[in-house]
Amino acid sequence: MSMLEEKIRRNRDILDGADPSEGHFMKFQSKLDSLHEMGPGQKSWYSGRLFRVAAVIIVLLGLSVTYYLVDPSMNSNPVAASTLPQEIQEARMYYDKLAEEKLQKINDCAASTSEASYIQRVVIDEITLLDSNSVKLEKELQRDNQNERLINALIRNYKTKSDLLDGILNRLCHI
Query: In the predicted model, what is the mean pLDDT of residues 138-147?
Result: 84
Question: What is the predicted pLDDT for the residue at 164?
Answer: 87
Question: What is the predicted pLDDT for the residue at 108?
Answer: 75
Q: Give 46's pLDDT tier (boundaries 50, 70, 90).
A: low
| Residue 96 to residue 161: CA distance in whole angstroms | 9
Q: Residue 78 pLDDT > 50, yes or no? A: no
Percent of the chain with pLDDT over 90: 1
Residues 6+ apart with CB under 8 A from 11: none
Q: Which residue has the higher pLDDT, 24 or 42?
A: 24
Query: In the predicted model, what is the mean pLDDT of residues 37-54?
Result: 65
Q: Residue 136 pLDDT > 80, yes or no? A: yes
Question: What is the predicted pLDDT for the residue at 79?
Answer: 42
Query: In the predicted model, what is the mean pLDDT of residues 107-132?
Result: 76
DSSP for 28-86?
A: HHHHHHHHH---TT---TTHHHHHHHHHHHHHHHHHHHHHHHH-TTTS--HHHHHTS-H
Please report, for the chain, the start and end positions of each structural domain, with discontinuous segments joined by +.
48-173
CATH of domain 48-173: 1.20.1420
Residue 107 per-residue DSSP state = H
Q: Which residue has the higher pLDDT, 75 or 120?
A: 120
